[in-house]
Chains A and B, each alone.
Chain A
Amino acid sequence: MANNDVEWLFERRHASDGWHIGRVAHQQKEWIVVQATSNGMAGEAWGPFSERLQHEVETLLDLADRHQERPTAGDRGSEDALLACGLIATSKLELTSRRYGVPLHLWLGGTLRTSVRVAVPIVFHGETPRRRGPELERAEEHIRNCHQRLGITSFAIYDSSPDIDLIASSLPVLRFEAGLGATLTLHLPGQFDVDQTQRLCSQVQDCGLTYMADPCASIAMAAKASRDRLPALGLSVWKYEREDLLASLPETPPAVLLVDPLLEGGPTAVRKLASIARVLQSEVCLTAEKGGTWLTYHCVELAAVVPASHQPVQLPTGLSIEDLQALGVRSGKLLLPGLPNRPALETVPDHTDNFSGPSPVAEY
Chain B
Amino acid sequence: MKPRPIIRRLKLYRVKIPLRQLYVSSMYVMKCVFRTVIELETDDGCTGLGETGGTQEVFQLTAQMARRFLRRDPLERLPLQQSFAASVFENRNGRNGWSAYGGLELALWDWAGHHFSLPACALIGEPKREWIDVVCPVPAVVLDLPVDRSALPSLFRQHERIAAVVEYCLQQKRQFGFTCFKYKSAGIDSEWDLRVMRALRRSLKKETLLRWDPNAAYPIAQATTLCGWMEDLGLEFYEDPTDDISGMAALRARVRTPVATNMCVVQLDQLASAIRHRPADILLADVYMWGGIENYLTMAASAEAYGFEVAIHSLFETGIGTAANLHLAAALRQIRRANDSGFHILESDVVQEGPLCVENGRMRVPDGPGWGVALNVSALAQLSVEQLEVT
Contacts and interface: CB of A to CB of B under 8 A. Distances in A.
Interface of A: 100, 102, 106-107, 109-112, 246, 250-251, 271-273, 275-276, 278-281, 305, 307, 363
Contacts of B301: 271-273, 275-276
Q: Closest 7 interchain pairs by CB? A: A110-B76, A275-B298, A275-B301, A272-B301, A109-B78, A279-B302, A109-B77
Interface stretch (B53-61, B267-275, B373-381): B267-275
Nearest to B72: A110
Nearest to A108: B78
Contacts of B78: 109-112, 305, 307
A228 to B, nearest CB: 18
B276 interface: yes
B145 interface: no
Contacts, number: 63
B275 A112 contact: no
Interface of B: 4, 73, 75-80, 82, 116, 126, 268, 271-272, 275-276, 294, 297-299, 301-302, 304-306
Q: Which of A110, A112, A305 has the most CB of B within 10 A?
A: A110
A274 to B, nearest CB: 9
Given A106-B76, A109-B77, A279-B275, 14 more contacts: A106-B73, A110-B73, A110-B75, A110-B78, A110-B79, A251-B276, A271-B297, A271-B301, A275-B299, A275-B301, A279-B268, A279-B271, A279-B302, A305-B78
Nearest to A268: B125
The DSSP consensus for interface residues of chain B is helix
Contact of A279 (B73, B77, B272): B272
A307 B82 contact: yes
Contacts of A110: 73, 75-80
Contacts of B276: 250-251
B69 to A, nearest CB: 12
Contacts of A305: 78
A112 B294 CA distance: 14
A281 B272 CA distance: 9
Nearest to A281: B272
Contacts of A251: 276
B305 A111 contact: no
8 contacts: A106-B76, A107-B75, A246-B305, A250-B275, A271-B297, A275-B297, A280-B302, A363-B126
Contacts of A363: 126
Nearest to A242: B305
Given A279-B272, A279-B275, A109 B298 contact: no
Given A246-B305, A275-B301, A276-B305, A112 B82 contact: yes
Contacts of A109: 75-78, 294
A106 B271 contact: no
Contacts of B302: 275-276, 279-280
Among A246, A271, A276, chain B packs the most CB atoms within 10 A around the CB of A276
A280 to B, nearest CB: 5
Contacts of B305: 246, 272, 276
A111 B76 contact: yes
Nearest to B295: A275
B290 to A, nearest CB: 12
B298 A280 contact: no
Nearest to B293: A109
A145 to B, nearest CB: 34
Contacts of B272: 250, 279-281
A359 to B, nearest CB: 15
Contacts of B80: 110
Contacts of A271: 297, 301
B79 A111 contact: yes
Contacts of A106: 4, 73, 75-76
Contacts of B77: 109-110
A111 to B, nearest CB: 6
